[in-house]
Amino acid sequence: MRDFLVLKLVIVFLFFSFYSFSQNNSSGPPKPPVGKRWVMNPDFSDEFNGTQLDATKWLDNHPTWKGREPGLFMSSQVSVKDGYLQIKGEKMEKDTIIHAYNRDLTFNIKGGAVVSKKAVFLGYYETRMKASATTMSATFWFSSGGSNVGPNECDKYGLEWDIQECIGRTGGFKGDYFAKGMHSNAHFWYTDCEKKRHDHRASQVRFEEEELASESFHTYGGWWRDESSASYYYDNRAPKHQSFYDEVKKKPFDKPMYMRLVCETYPFPWIELPNEKELSDPSKNTVYYDWVRGYELVDVLDEKVNQEYEVGVKLYDESVIFSEIEMELAMLKANEIKIPISFKANEKRVLYLKISEKINKSKEKKNIKVAETTITISPGYGNLEALVKLKKKLSSNITYKVEASLLPINGTNKAKDALDKSILFFTLKK
């Protein structure tokens, strides 16, 4: 019995050591629902390791918006080099007047926008980004356009989901809090039947931070869960949650949206305009995106997904994960039991599970195997209940041990072949 307790204490230590490490790994999607697996969506993912923007995925300008005065979106300000998407803010030599939206617009600052060519509905999205050290924005957001027919048919609406909006320096202006932390908004842009436009916003989600957003890279993530809610993730912190404004439509965020990576000017005087000195300084005037990644949920054992892009990224520290080290489980009919387990895999793998009980006969102590199973899994972050058929009915008076191993597709069940291992102890529900 003493040896059994020592083993459990060792497992507890290893579990919390792994948990602490995993919490410091700030990239990758959150735990998926049971029966689902996160897989990368290549249309909304880019490591920016080339020498030019991937024209199959992205536009280097905004197709319907010139930019907020006095900042004009210009393709010349967008580049891919040194492993980053870079969007540079600069001062124009002279004012540029553009006639748009039935009026003349005056621009004297260069900004940039990168927009996805495809729209998407739901999913998890993240970027690793460093803001410029100016008052120009560094943003990561989605929008649908404003021509969706409203519930009264004479009205219309548009959707805007801002995972992160920030600037890179503070100042004596009201919006200088945008220079630190993470700020997430959801706008329901509504035009009523009288043609009056309303900005209906959900309550802002904010993560406080001491350092400026321009001092170092941070990871910003958003999970568009459904038509009514989202969750937000900042580095390794616990998530925060948001319910969308739903007084016009009960399920407001019901349309696909396009991804936007934008460096723009904000409304003055809420945030002051960038000055010529900071815009002329190459060490300050550029927003850096290390990568952007999109994920979608599929059935946990779905093998039909094209994951060629994901396999090339090698996103995960491959692992098998029990959410607890001890739990109670219920027997099913026909001597079966379901074992809840998660996995992270960069390519097709085998998940091996062995259930055993420990018995003592005089001085002899050994583990007796009760059941085992193997499951072929595909790349991604999956969460499943593994169905295990038992050789015999289990006892409610015994603690059982589950040993889980992540194996190469052509590996054996031997410990030397395991890419990762984990242990769970369980008793039967009475």
Q: Catalytic residue positions?
A: 160, 165
Evaluate whether 233 touches 181 at the Cβ level (below 8 Å). Answer: no
Residues ≥6 apart with Cβ < 8 Å to 246: 228, 252
Q: How many helices (H) and strands (E) does the chain have?
A: 3, 27
> Strand order of the sheet with strand 400-408?
326-329, 420-428, 400-408, 349-361, 364-377
Strand partners, 401: 356, 425
Give, rounded to a whole angstrom, the gap between the first and last alpha carbons of the chain.
22
| CA 261 – CA 294 distance, rounded (Å) | 13
222 token code pair: 């958003």
346 token code pair: 């960069």
Helix (H) or strand (E) holding 208: strand 205-212
Q: What is the DSSP string of 278-335?
A: HHT-TTTSEEEEEEEEEEEEEETT---S--HHHHHH--S--EEE-S-SEEEE-EETTT
| CA 390 – CA 372 distance, rounded (Å) | 8
Number of Cβ within 10 Å of residue 162's Cβ equals: 20
| CA 341 – CA 62 distance, rounded (Å) | 43
Which ranges constitute the DSSP H helices of 158-270? none
277 token code pair: 């000195």
Omega before 252 within 30 of 0, i.e. cis:
no
- Counting Cα atoms < 13 Å in the Cβ hemisphere of 18 gives 19
Specify the length of the chain in residues: 430
| CA 166 – CA 172 distance, rounded (Å) | 16
Closest CA to 75 of 131, 116, 114, 118: 114
| CA 283 – CA 276 distance, rounded (Å) | 14
Q: What is the DSSP string of 68-82?
A: STTEEE-GGGEEEET
